[in-house]
Chains A and B, each alone.
Chain A
Amino acid sequence: MLALAAIPALLVVVIIAFVARASAPALADIGLLRLFSDPGWHPTADAFNLWPMLAGSLAVMALALALALPLGLGCAVCLRFFAPPPASRTLRLLLALAAGVPSVVYGLWGLSELVPLIARWRQPGASLLAGAVVLALMVLPTIALTAEAALAAVPATVLRGAAALGLSRWGTVVGVALPAARRGIMAGTVLAAARALGETMGLLMVCGNVVQVPGSVFDPVRTLAANIVLEMAYATGAHRGALAVSGLVLLALVLALLLLVEQAPRRAHG
């Protein structure tokens, strides 16, 4: 049992080693400094600046979470505290369904419905906003279902106590249940954020894929993960190595995100 539980950590180490080994030659040839200071990303012209794509990944993730968190929490609260059993069963099943839809399908819908819609507002349509909406839809089930599980884990005695003290529904949910479920909700959000950083196919189709630091939500962006898929099919030699490095940077980003969350100050009651 304990040995089995060691496998995930082992797996992570092996994956990091795998990506690191693939990046080593490129890191040696190009060097870390150039990866953030070259004039743009033009691998066939020997320019390997990763920063605009890094900014793109972070921007899409942040905006997607800004959309998905309130909606996901809202759904979780609805499931746990407001919806009668038939409705809650249906909503839960719909969320589980949404979790199983391939990102390709979200991407296709985004490309054929969302992007033209945004384009009518502001060209070119394929943008940070489109990517964030599609990504929000993709991570929403994770946030909603983990938040619901966390809220369901709040002991009934605590909730009954709140009712006995005369707290309104609002008071119970916002003042007691949500704080008690904070850890679980946080865990779900971190998972969603990590998934958001790693999302490839769907974003490839709707973000526009222009390598630039986004100035507004209507600007097209390219994420690190989408870049790997986009260029890997035809990349050779040094270009391939550079793509491996971008993979490594992505992993480093996720690690940084995780450590940041771990350090976040905690209140007395977990």
Chain B
Amino acid sequence: MIARLLVAVLAVAALGAGESTRLTVTGSSTVAPLVTEIAKRFEARHPGVRIDVQTGGSSRGLADAESGVADIGMVSRALKPDEPVLAHTIARDGVCLIVHRSNPVVALSDQQVVAIYTGQVAGWKEVGGPDLPIVVVNKAEGRSTLEVFCGHFKLKNADIKAAVVIGDNEQGVKTVAGNPAAIGYVSIGTAESDAAVGVAIRLLPMGGIAPSVGNVRSGTFPLSRPLNLVTKGVPTGLAARFIAFATSDEVFDLVRDLNLVPIR
């Protein structure tokens, strides 16, 4: 009887002790692979700590951070002014246009891109490419890469005439790699990693600037978005220590490993 009571008390105590060494991070599936690797390194340096990373999308990350369901949220875009959370940027990610590797077009002007995406230019021949219809690949509404794209080219999503709509960046890459007539826009990190292992795509420069990680870091490449960890108010305790670690230069190699851009 006493033994059972003792076990119960110890169990409750263990439960209580466990709470302060555990973090829950939810949100964007784009940021999740990076945060998972950062969390693993953090756990290795702080034995006994557990950081659980879950996905569900940027809007979930926002909602969970706000409501307290999660300690930290992951959001793959800049915060809007009416969102009541604090953002801590852990990486930047450029957005660039990609075409099939066999497409001879090496650059497109901003006006050409707008004309292609609004359907005014329908054939590759008109912009110096092969005699094929242009298959326009656009992102689904609400996605941050779409908003960055539309913001830069001053387009409204309703004006875009797309032949294919995609969700994740990899889907965009695979769609373009499988179709010599396709054009799309994806995260530079994804496109560079894939092109490096031989996937049949080519990245296009924007306004003459090459789409490289270096150019995004220096700010010369015009299209990029921040990858953020968000918290409700100023973070404290374990969450604060994790965020400090995630924004330190000790994780820059992890950021670069995913072809993302370190914040410094």
Contact = CB atoms under 8 A, between A and B. Distances in A.
Direct A–B touching in the complex (beta carbon < 8 Å)?
Answer: yes
A44 to B, nearest CB: 6
Contacts of B57: 232-234
B182 to A, nearest CB: 7
A145 interface: no
Interface range, B side:
20 to 34
A188 B224 CA distance: 50
Interface in A44-102: 44-45
Contacts of B29: 233
Interface stretch (B38-46, B85-93, B155-163, B230-238): B155-163
A230 interface: yes
Contact of B165 (A43, A125, A222, A239): A222
Contacts, number: 97
B101 interface: no
A40 B217 CA distance: 39
A234 B28 CA distance: 9
Contact of B59 (A40, A208, A240): A240
Contacts of A115: 175, 178-179
B142 interface: yes
Given A230-B140, A231-B141, A234-B57, A111 B179 contact: no
Contacts of B181: 119, 123
Contacts of A234: 57-59, 140, 142-144
Contacts of A229: 167
B221 to A, nearest CB: 23
B133 interface: yes
Interface string A228-252: 0111111110011000000000000
A236 to B, nearest CB: 5
Contacts of B58: 233-234
B174 interface: yes
A233 to B, nearest CB: 3
Interface in A109-136: 111-112, 115-116, 119, 123-126
A214 B162 CA distance: 14
A235 B164 contact: no
A111 B171 contact: yes
A90 to B, nearest CB: 32
A111 B178 contact: yes
B163 A220 contact: yes
Nearest to A219: B163
Contacts of B158: 40, 42, 45
A103 to B, nearest CB: 14
Contact of A233 (B28, B133, B166): B28
B56 interface: yes
A123 B141 contact: no
A167 to B, nearest CB: 50
A42 B142 CA distance: 10
B171 A205 contact: yes
Contacts of A208: 163-165
Contacts of A211: 165
B179 A125 contact: yes
Contacts of A235: 59, 142
Nearest to B135: A124
B59 A112 contact: no
B98 to A, nearest CB: 15
A108 to B, nearest CB: 8
A210 interface: yes
A209 interface: yes
A204 interface: yes
Interface string B24-39: 0000110000000000
B60 interface: yes
Nearest to B77: A234
Contact of A210 (B62, B156, B163): B163
B1 to A, nearest CB: 36
A240 B60 CA distance: 11
B178 to A, nearest CB: 4
Interface string A159-173: 000000000000000
Nearest to A125: B179
B174 A112 contact: yes
Interface string B167-180: 10001001100110
B142 A116 contact: no
A123 B133 contact: yes
B142 A123 contact: no
Interface of B: 28-29, 56-60, 62, 133, 135, 140-144, 156-158, 162-167, 171, 174-175, 178-179, 181-182
Given A220-B163, A240-B59, 9 more contacts: A42-B158, A45-B158, A111-B171, A119-B179, A123-B181, A126-B175, A231-B141, A233-B28, A234-B59
17 contacts: A42-B158, A45-B156, A124-B163, A124-B164, A209-B164, A210-B164, A211-B165, A220-B164, A231-B140, A231-B141, A233-B167, A234-B59, A234-B143, A235-B59, A236-B59, A239-B142, A240-B59
